[in-house]
Amino acid sequence: MSTTTPTTHRAPSDLQSIWLVAEREIGSKLRSKAFVISTIILVLAALASVVWGGFAANNLSGSGIPVAVTAQTQAAVEGLDGLEVTVADSDDAATALVEDGTVDAALVSGSSDASFDYTVVVKDSVPSTLLQMLSETPPVQELEPGAGAASALRYFIALAFGLVFLIAASTFGGTIAQSVVEEKQTRVVEILISAIPVRALLAGKVLGNTVLAMAQIVLLAAVAVIGLAVTDQAGVLSALGAPIAWFAIFFLFGFVLLASLFAAAAAMVSRQEDIGATTTPITMLIMAPYFLVIFFNDNPVVLTIMSYVPFSAPVGMPLRMYLGDAQWWEPVLSLLVLIASCVAAIAIGARIYQNSLLRMGARVKLAEALKG
């Protein structure tokens, strides 16, 4: 007489559960034709912008940045490629060349900073490529602040950082919110949490959409770098290299922060039409950096504040680095503030998500979701 041993199924571990949910999120997004088409359009638009910028730069500029120096400041530009150097007889003569448009910048003697022996004089805005070429960022004196073509370049760079952050964060944040509510509305969530922990479900959703968002950011960065290299914009590539890398790092933690809040906010409602009631404040936080850099990209005080606020740091700090306004330690400090805020947001978001996920019907109030 034989006996049959019943087969036991082991429940997946937390890591396996997280990856299963993440895999499901990634797969469902990649199967969406709308997502694939929108990504292709975004990449083509980025490539077209880079190529257009290359042609415009070639038409507007010569073989290098025209810079005036004096006998006392000439040593600061020795050995630097990409400059057309004019040696003026005096500081006043060098400044006059800036005023009449003969050169874009002049290095004159004297400085308000004891660390430097010279000051960069410009008409409206110093070429960021020039600051990248110099070993350190010297003091800058603007003769006509806020006017000219340099301001337009700063505006478009600010617009690019703000727009990429806005599109990526709102697209994938909205995806998380819709997924959470759809699972609640169809009662699928009850089946899911019978097999995996609630926190693993939340972590999987955040992880899956973070992977997709970062893949899109890396793809856009690669297109920008390749486009700048192919169109021979070495100066712009040198100036944007570090800011783009920091933007990707800041976006990673900034998006995890926002994704946790999106999932928590969506868990508080049970119908798709109610999503806006709880996610609108988060959407406003995403939109704020975009509008701030459009209207205040030439305001160093606003940009400095933005670079330390968690929701706007992914836009504000890379822009300040491109403009040469940030000291070497500032991105590190800003990133630490963002990481600390991210940890706090995950903890709060997980509590709201866990306390609200199985509550159907009327919208759950924030105080009740936090209390449990």
For 165-222, the pLDDT digits (tens) are 999 999 999 999 999 999 888 888 888 888 888 899 999 999 999 999 999 999 988 8
Summarised one tens digit per residue, pLDDT across range 78-88 is 877 778 888 89
| Backbone angles phi and psi of 35, in degrees to 5 | -65, -45
> Binning pLDDT at 50, 70 and 90, where does residue 155 land?
confident
Summarised one tens digit per residue, pLDDT across range 31-48 is 989 889 988 998 888 888
Q: Give mean pLDDT, residues 90-104.
A: 87
The Cα–Cα gap between 175 and 25 comes to 9
- 3-state DSSP assignment of residue 55: helix
Domain extent listing, the chain: 15-54+150-371, 66-126
Residue 150 reports pLDDT greater than 60: no
Cα distance between the two ends of the chain: 55
Q: Give mean pLDDT, residues 234-263.
A: 88
- 3-state DSSP assignment of residue 308: coil
Q: Give mean pLDDT, residues 326-347.
A: 94
List residues bridging with 68 in a β-sheet: 86, 106
HEC secondary structure over the chain: CCCCCCCCCCCCCHHHHHHHHHHHHHHHHHCCHHHHHHHHHHHHHHHHHHHHHHHHHHHHCCCCEEEEECCCCHHHHCCCCCEEEEECCCHHHHHHHHHCCCCCEEEEECCCCCCCCEEEEECCCCCHHHHHHCCCCCCEEECCCCCCHHHHHHHHHHHHHHHHHHHHHHHHHHHHHHHHHHHHHCCHHHHHHHHCCHHHHHHHHHHHHHHHHHHHHHHHHHHHHHHHHHCCCHHHHHHHHHHHHHHHHHHHHHHHHHHHHHHHHHHCCCCHHHHHHHHHHHHHHHHHHHHHHHHHCCCHHHHHHHCCCCCCHHHHHHHHHHHCCCCCCHHHHHHHHHHHHHHHHHHHHHHHHHHHCCCCCCCCCHHHHHHC
Cβ pair 94, 68 in contact under 8 A: yes
* DSSP codes, 83-144: EEEEE-SSHHHHHHHHHTTS-SEEEEE--SSTT-SEEEEESS---HHHHHHSSS---EEESS
Mean pLDDT score of the chain: 84
Residue 58 reports pLDDT greater than 60: no
Cβ pair 162, 293 in contact under 8 A: yes
The Cα–Cα gap between 314 and 269 comes to 29
Q: Which residue has the higher pLDDT, 153 or 214?
A: 214
pLDDT of residue 221: 87
Amino acid occupying residue 177: A
pLDDT of residue 27: 92
> Binning pLDDT at 50, 70 and 90, where does residue 13 land?
confident
- Burial bucket for residue 59 (CB in 10 Å: 0-12, 13-18, 19+): exposed
Q: Which of 51-55, 73-77, 147-151 has the highest mean pLDDT?
A: 73-77
The Cα–Cα gap between 113 and 215 comes to 42
Summarised one tens digit per residue, pLDDT across range 278-317 is 999 999 999 999 999 888 888 889 999 999 999 999 999 9
pLDDT of residue 81: 74
> Binning pLDDT at 50, 70 and 90, where does residue 322 land?
confident
